[in-house]
Amino acid sequence: MAGGRFKKKGKNKIQAISTASLPDIVFMLLFFFMVTTVMKQDDLKVSIHAPKATEVKKLENKSLVSYIYIGKPTQTRIYGDVTQIQLNDAFADPDQIREFIAAERETMDEADQSKMTVSLKVDGKTEMGIVTDVKQQLRRASALKINYSTLKGDPLGGR
Amino acid sequence: MAKREIQEINAGSMADIAFLLLIFFLVTTTMDTDSGIVRKLPPMPEENTQQDDVQIKERNIFVVLVNRDNQLLVEGELMNIKDLREATKEFIINPTDDPDLPAKEIKEFPIVGPMEVTAKHVISLRNDRGTSYETYIAVQNELAAAYNELRDEYSLRKWGKKFDDLEADLQEVVEDIYPMKISEAEPKNVGG
């Protein structure tokens, strides 16, 4: 009977959505984040409020970038409040920069060594003296490509 | 029945495992790319070679001094940093053929042909050890902005596009026309 057939279809229960493809979707997301993720490099021991600038360029290829941090220590009670240079995870003297650059070069492919960039993350209130010292050391180590790390914004407006 | 079916592994928990990993990577990921002002340092002069000072004509050099109170002295005059960009642009193009501003000469460029440019101009930036980094970056930024504005203006006039939207070979030409010549002096105290 025709009516019976329709009746059978008519009493439909709410179908559960198949979750079989859920793992696939999650895996897709997982791979995306695995590929794009960059592990946090260093623990900052100095506080840095980077200055603002408008003419900024993005740093490409993070594996070719080494960081030098300059600022006042976050734990002033332990380390005092004199401006310090931080390389890797420790405070350093300007003299140690050449060693640091050499060590950073070691970790790169030979072909990439010439493309090495040093990013200076410097607190805005720092005096230029220490920055100049660092720059001189970088010149000695012939790490000439540098980047003054800045935030985006008008440098003249925020004061 | 004697025939045993091969048992399927229950894949129901697969999603949970994947979620766990996903959340881990979500938390550890840092999306922010570092950005900043890119500069190239001059190579260190060899210790024993005599530094011969390259003679640059007074009119071709634009001296910017920053003292330890973060004041600007541009070409011997106190200047507000807000005016630096315009002053720099005027210096680079020398629109009125002022004999105090850099000499213009006709130079041949690929694609666009001959053009009158101030090929020998140099911007000399010098700061004191006590200058704040903030001010230094602001000055660097204004100088870079002057060049970028000139490049943009030229690109718009010539091709109706901004410099950043041009093809790579055209960008090279424009960079050649307005080459960024910012020289930082060997460090010494400017005083203030």
Predicted confidence band of residue A3 (pLDDT cuts 50, 70, 90): very low
Segment B87-100 mean pLDDT: 88
Distance set, CA B168 to CA B109, B164, B173, B180 (Å): 15, 9, 9, 17
Task: Look at B44 and A149 and tell me if their CB atoms are within 8 Å.
Answer: no
**Residue B109 DSSP SS3:** strand
Say which residue the tokens 């053929």 belong to.
Answer: B97
- Which residue in A24, A26, A32 has the most chain B C-beta atoms within 10 A of its own C-beta, making it the best mutation to test that interface? A26
Task: Look at B134 and A37 and tell me if their CB atoms are within 8 Å.
Answer: no
Nearest chain B residue (CA) to A54:
B141
pLDDT tens profile A113-139 = 888 999 999 999 999 999 999 999 999
Residues linked to residue B132 through DSSP beta bridges, in sequence order:
A127
Give the DSSP H/E element, type plus range, for residue B151: helix B133-159
Which of chain A's residues have a Cβ under 8 Å away from the Cβ of B15?
19, 22-23, 26
Task: Look at B14 and A23 and tell me if their CB atoms are within 8 Å.
Answer: yes
State how far the Cα of A68 lies from the Cα of A97, in Å rounded to an integer.
9
pLDDT of residue A34: 80
State how far the Cα of B115 lies from the Cα of A6, in Å rounded to an integer.
84
What is the pTM assigned to this prediction?
0.77
* Mutual angle of helices B84-93 and B133-159, in 10-degree steps: 50
**Residue B66 DSSP SS3:** strand
Say which residue the tokens 């960059």 belong to.
Answer: A38
Task: Look at B133 and A59 and tell me if their CB atoms are within 8 Å.
Answer: no
Which two structure tokens, joined as six digits, stand for A158? 């925020």
For chain A, positions 32-91, list CB contacts with chain B under 8 A: 33-34, 36-40, 50-59, 62, 65
Contact between residue B148 and residue A55 where contact means Cβ atoms under 8 Å apart: yes
Predicted confidence band of residue A2 (pLDDT cuts 50, 70, 90): very low
Task: Look at A156 and B138 and tell me if their CB atoms are within 8 Å.
Answer: yes
Q: What percent of chain B is modeled with pLDDT above 90?
A: 24
pLDDT over 70 at B54, yes or no: no
Nearest chain A residue (CA) to B186:
A136
pLDDT tens profile B117-172 = 888 888 999 888 889 999 999 999 999 999 999 999 999 998 999 998 989 899 99
pLDDT over 80 at B87, yes or no: yes
Nearest chain A residue (CA) to B16:
A23
Task: Look at B133 and A119 and tell me if their CB atoms are within 8 Å.
Answer: no
Q: What is the dihedral of CA A135, A139, A143, A145, to 10 degrees?
A: 60
Residue A142 forms contact with B (CB below 8 Å):
yes
- The alpha carbon of residue B106 is apart from the nearest alpha carbon of chain A, in Å, by 29
Say which residue the tokens 């045993």 belong to.
Answer: B4
Predicted confidence band of residue B88 (pLDDT cuts 50, 70, 90): very high
Among residues B187, B165, B147, B132, the alpha carbon closest in space to that of B37 is found at: B147
Give me the domains of chain A, ranges plus CATH numbers: 46-152 (3.30.420.270)
Which of chain B's residues have a Cβ under 8 Å away from the Cβ of A30?
18, 21-22, 25
Residue B182 has phi, psi (to 5 degrees) of -110, 120
Cβ atoms within 10 Å, residue A34: 14
Task: Look at A59 and B36 and tell me if their CB atoms are within 8 Å.
Answer: yes
Task: Look at A139 and B41 and tell me if their CB atoms are within 8 Å.
Answer: yes
Which of chain A's residues have a Cβ under 8 Å away from the Cβ of B82?
156
Which of A34-48, B55-69, B132-146 reaches the highest mean pLDDT? Answer: B132-146
- The alpha carbon of residue A23 is apart from the nearest alpha carbon of chain B, in Å, by 4
Residue A108 forms contact with B (CB below 8 Å):
no
Which two structure tokens, joined as six digits, stand for A14? 């709410």
Cβ neighbors of A88 (< 8 A, separation 6 or more) are A42, A100
Q: Which residue has the higher pLDDT, B27 or B69?
A: B69
Task: Look at B145 and A55 and tell me if their CB atoms are within 8 Å.
Answer: yes
